[in-house]
């Protein structure tokens, strides 16, 4: 007899949703995490009464009503709408690319004028089928926006030329010809009141949780602990990098408590020129309309992942995607292991997509009896 039905490696969103659903179905789950806290990269630390998004800003957004209802079972969401500002040298622009951006850029008023300028800039480029991020961006917004708001930021974030990056990355951003600074097109959006950590804690009720526990060491000592494993770490590491390393980007945060109430007047300010070394500054209190006397800011620096540091973003370019497919083929042979999450699926997932994937996995599991 195995002690648990599932050993879940990683107490992030994928693992927590999976554990919650299986516990609800009468299964016994043990969730382990190598960090000293739950919630993976959506973990928040409270500093000066402010929820600090320790592993980068997370704004929940989805168009899937089922997923929205699902997260609302674990937390009430506030009405935060993400509207980042871009700082390019001494110029400030609204994001995403919308009439506020265009009117500032070209001193124009109407959608017709904006479209005419973009069409004019595109016409000289002759791009029919965009092959990479640069071509995709140019064919959407023309050269001015690309040069000032996309090129520098993207190259800092990904450490690669825009010509070497997949087009889909830029399609995450809305483009609209109305005066609307909402960064997302999704129907539902917000930040959980009480923070993400409390939300995940609720999901994990009824599961056993072991922190500061490395999966590889744990499984060596406890090979028979569970009938199945859910692994949400790096898929290439699971296979001991036997086919080579997948590439990831990592982010380093320089977090500071400032003795002032309001530093930048917005939760997110992106620095889109190459000269400023960080990609953005997050002022955490603004995600929750905080009125604390102090404020906490994080400057975000992006670099290539190396062993020993935290991976954040998979790099879904051609080279890595084909290596991932080979790892996926190995994963399919592991009959008692389920891979999931951003690192297990090597996918640039948003939170709602992680939950969708976890719920789909649960359905698949429920269909085969453990």
Catalytic site positions: 172, 176, 249, 280, 300, 348, 350
- Are the beta carbons of 71 and 77 closer than 8 angstroms? yes
Q: Which is nearer to ligand UDP, 4 or 184 (CB)?
A: 184
Q: From CA 161, how far away is CA 321, in angstroms rounded?
A: 18
> For 183-310, where are the alpha helices, taking DSSP H only?
196-203, 215-221, 235-238
CA 329 from chain center: how many Å? 25
Contact with ligand UDP (CB under 6 A): which of 136, 270, 295, 298? Answer: 270
Shortest spacing between CB 249 and ligand UDP, in angstroms: 9
Residue 232 interacting with ligand UDP (CB under 6 A): no
Contact with ligand UDP (CB under 6 A): which of 41, 98, 101, 272? Answer: 272
Residue 332, burial from CB neighbour count under 10 angstroms (0-12, 13-18, 19+): exposed
* Window contacting ligand UDP (CB under 6 A); options: 1-9, 167-175, 188-196, 222-230: 167-175
> For 146-206, where are the alpha helices, taking DSSP H only?
152-158, 196-203
Residue 81 interacting with ligand UDP (CB under 6 A): no
Residue 234 interacting with ligand UDP (CB under 6 A): no
Residue 154 interacting with ligand UDP (CB under 6 A): yes
Cis peptide before 356 (omega within 30 of 0): no
In order of 24, 36, 345, the CA distances from 366 in angstroms are: 12, 31, 20
Shortest spacing between CB 92 and ligand UDP, in angstroms: 12
Shortest spacing between CB 268 and ligand UDP, in angstroms: 8
Q: Which is nearer to ligand UDP, 19 or 297 (CB)?
A: 297
Shortest spacing between CB 95 and ligand UDP, in angstroms: 6
Contact with ligand UDP (CB under 6 A): which of 32, 150, 191, 355? Answer: 150
In order of 108, 201, 270, 301, 308, the CA distances from 280 in angstroms are: 27, 29, 4, 8, 24
> Which residues form the interface with ligand UDP (CB under 6 A)?
86, 95, 149-150, 153-154, 157, 169-170, 172-173, 270, 272
């Amino acid at each position: 007899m195995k002690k648990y039905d599932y050993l879940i490696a990683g107490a992030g969103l994928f693992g927590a949703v999976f554990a919650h659903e299986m516990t609800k179905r009468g299964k016994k789950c043990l969730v382990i995490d190598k960090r000293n806290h739950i919630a993976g990269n959506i973990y928040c630390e409270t500093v000066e009464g402010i929820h600090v998004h320790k592993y980068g800003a997370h704004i929940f957004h989805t168009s899937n009503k089922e997923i929205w209802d699902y997260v609302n079972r674990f937390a009430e969401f506030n009405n935060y709408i993400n509207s980042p500002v871009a700082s390019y040298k001494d110029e400030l622009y609204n994001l995403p690319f919308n009439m506020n951006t265009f009117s500032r850029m070209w001193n124009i008023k109407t959608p017709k004028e904006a479209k005419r300028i973009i069409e004019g800039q595109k016409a000289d480029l002759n791009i029919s089928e965009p092959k990479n991020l640069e071509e995709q961006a140019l064919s959407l917004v023309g050269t001015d926006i690309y040069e000032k708001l996309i090129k520098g930021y993207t190259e800092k974030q990904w450490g690669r030329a825009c010509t070497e990056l997949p087009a889909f990355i830029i399609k995450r951003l809305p483009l609209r010809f109305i005066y609307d600074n909402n960064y997302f097109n999704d129907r539902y959006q917000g930040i959980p009141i009480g923070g993400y950590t409390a939300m995940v804690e609720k999901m994990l009720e009824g599961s056993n949780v072991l922190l500061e526990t490395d999966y590889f060491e744990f499984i060596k000592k406890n090979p028979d602990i569970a009938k199945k494993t859910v692994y949400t770490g790096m898929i290439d590491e699971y296979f001991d990098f036997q086919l080579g390393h997948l590439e990831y980007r990592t982010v380093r945060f320089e977090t500071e408590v400032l003795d002032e109430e309001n530093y930048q007047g917005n939760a997110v300010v992106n620095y889109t020129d190459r000269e400023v070394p960080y990609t953005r500054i997050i002022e955490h209190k603004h995600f929750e309309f905080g009125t604390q006397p102090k404020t906490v800011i994080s400057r975000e620096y992006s670099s290539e992942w190396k062993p020993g540091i935290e991976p954040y973003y998979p790099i879904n370019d051609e080279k890595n995607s084909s290596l991932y497919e080979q790892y996926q083929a190995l994963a399919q042979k592991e009959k008692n292991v389920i891979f999931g999450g951003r690192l297990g699926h090597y996918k640039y997932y948003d939170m709602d997509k992680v939950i969708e994937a976890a719920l789909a996995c649960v359905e698949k599991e429920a269909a085969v009896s453990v």
